[in-house]
């Protein structure tokens, strides 16, 4: 009987260790997976045109609030789209980091996607950002291949995508990318 109890307790300890081991491995792998997803795509010779869309801004100053915007109508000026959601922990940081570039030869907009409108609206209103925001009602997740948020899309003035950056960008990287976008040839 004692051997049986000893055997069962060893099995239970082994199962607990295996569960803890899996938990520990997942914690160690999370940063690797996360930072692997924080990468750029785009650039090179074969730039694709940004998929066109029309949305209505629900947030922004009086120039943009309740106004409809079509992406292709913004050609002639570089455009930056911040795709985010209410559950995105770095949303406020990203809006704060991009605000200094508003009106400086760039058009910046935030778009809520993969979310509920009411939750996204509350999140945006709590940021007090000056960046105009809209909510995806036309399936941009599929058009822009959005599988992780935040996603920032930098579009040259001719409408071609310069790059897509998945994940949070540091202020230095943001400044470099804006300089690259400003100097990009059409």
Q: Give the model's pLDDT for residue 26.
A: 44
Place of tokens 């996603």: 151
Q: Give the model's pLDDT for residue 128.
A: 87
pLDDT in tens, 120-177: 999 999 988 999 999 999 999 999 999 889 999 999 999 999 999 999 999 999 999 9
**Considering only the top CATH level, what class is 40-183?**
alpha beta
Q: Where are the domains of the chain?
A: 1-37, 40-183
pLDDT in tens, 58-107: 998 888 899 999 999 999 999 999 999 999 988 889 999 999 998 878 99
Among residues of the chain, what percentage have pLDDT more than 70?
A: 74
pLDDT in tens, 13-47: 445 555 555 444 444 434 433 444 444 554 444 56
Cα 126 to chain center, whole Å?
Answer: 18
């Amino acid at each position: 009987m004692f051997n049986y109890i000893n055997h069962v307790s060893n099995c239970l300890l082994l199962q607990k260790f295996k569960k803890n081991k899996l938990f520990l491995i997942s914690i160690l792998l999370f940063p690797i997976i996360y930072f692997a997803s924080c990468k750029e795509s785009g650039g090179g010779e074969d730039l694709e045109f940004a998929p066109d869309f029309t949305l209505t801004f629900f947030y922004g100053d009086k120039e943009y609030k309740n106004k409809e915007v079509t992406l292709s109508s913004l050609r002639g000026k570089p455009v930056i789209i911040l795709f985010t959601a209410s559950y995105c922990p770095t949303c406020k940081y990203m809006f704060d980091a991009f605000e200094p570039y508003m009106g400086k030869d760039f058009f910046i907009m935030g778009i809520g996607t993969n979310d509920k409108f009411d939750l996204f609206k509350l999140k945006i209103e709590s940021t007090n950002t000056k960046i105009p925001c809209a909510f995806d009602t036309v399936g941009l997740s599929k058009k822009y291949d959005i599988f992780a948020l935040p996603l920032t899309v930098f579009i040259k003035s001719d409408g071609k995508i310069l790059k897509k950056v998945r994940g949070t960008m540091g202020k230095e990287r943001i400044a470099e990318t804006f300089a690259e976008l400003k100097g990009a040839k059409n």
